[in-house]
Amino acid sequence: MVHTGDAAIRAQLSNIANSRRAVQALVNCLVMHTVFDVLESQGRSALLPDTVISSILGQLTINITYEPLECKKATLNPAVVPQDRMDDTCIIVSNTVTGICKMMPQGRMLMCNMPMAIGAIPSRHLTIGGTISTTNIIMASWSRTMWQSVVNRAVRMLASGPFRSNFFSASAVVSGS
């Protein structure tokens, strides 16, 4: 997910946010609600009453870290980049940033139609990290395998939900104690 302060870019793209904070809040909300949905489903499968499920979910804390990509400049057609673009430019195909057109040192020009000028999106903009902690004594004793099952289901839900294009190749790894 990306953001820009450029109103012209936002006018062309329906799913681009106007600030870093807005993207982070959206990602936090998506991940948190998805994990809660998975745990709620598990509680229902165990025939727990809704009040118990609600109480258990209230004992969870989820903290997400994510560094969204800022697109100061963007192009929907990488072969045609206006000459006034002197910054790295996000290349957008079908409402998705697919790469970064890097400034070429010779002539200080963007040459987005040349493969050597196209860079990958830095991994820090493609990685969501986080922690789940609980004060619930039963969940606190869950094994790493049980938590991995929860996050795997959450990832599958994110990859099939309304923001699926942002999570289509997502994976998750549980680490720590």
Return the SS3 of 113: coil
Least confident range of 78-82, 89-93, 116-120, 152-156: 78-82
What pLDDT does residue 34 have? Answer: 94
With vertex at residue 102, the alpha carbon angle to CA 76 and CA 93, rounded to the nearest 5 degrees, is 20
What pLDDT does residue 121 have? Answer: 85
What pLDDT does residue 21 have? Answer: 94
CA pair distance 109, 84, nearest whole angstrom? 9
The answer as to whether 117 is a domain residue is no
Q: Is the pLDDT of residue 174 over 60?
A: yes
In order of 10, 71, 100, 174, the CA distances from 91 in angstroms are: 14, 9, 6, 33
The answer as to whether 106 is a domain residue is no
Greater model confidence, 73 or 60: 60
74-75 and 69-70 beta bridge pairing: unpaired
The answer as to whether 115 is a domain residue is no
| Mean pLDDT computed over 80-92 | 63
Tokens 């949905």 appear where?
Answer: 37
What pLDDT does residue 106 have? Answer: 59
What pLDDT does residue 81 have? Answer: 53
Most confident stretch, 11-20, 106-115, 137-146: 137-146
Percentage with pLDDT > 70 across the chain: 84
The residues with which 2 forms a beta bridge, in sequence order, are 69
Report residue 109's pLDDT band, with 50, 70 and 90 as the boundaries: low
Average predicted confidence (pLDDT) for the chain: 82
Show the domain range for 24.
2-72+123-167
The answer as to whether 79 is a domain residue is no
The answer as to whether 154 is a domain residue is yes
User: Rounded to 5 degrees, what are φ and ψ at 70?
Assistant: -100, 125
The answer as to whether 80 is a domain residue is no
What pLDDT does residue 32 have? Answer: 94
Greater model confidence, 136 or 109: 136
The answer as to whether 104 is a domain residue is no
Tally of domains in the chain:
1
Greater model confidence, 176 or 5: 5
**Length of the chain in residues, anyone?**
177
Do the beta carbons of residue 171 and residue 155 sit within 8 Å? yes
Tokens 């012209």 appear where?
Answer: 8
Greater model confidence, 88 or 17: 17
The answer as to whether 116 is a domain residue is no
Displacement of CA 35 from its chain's centroid (Å): 14
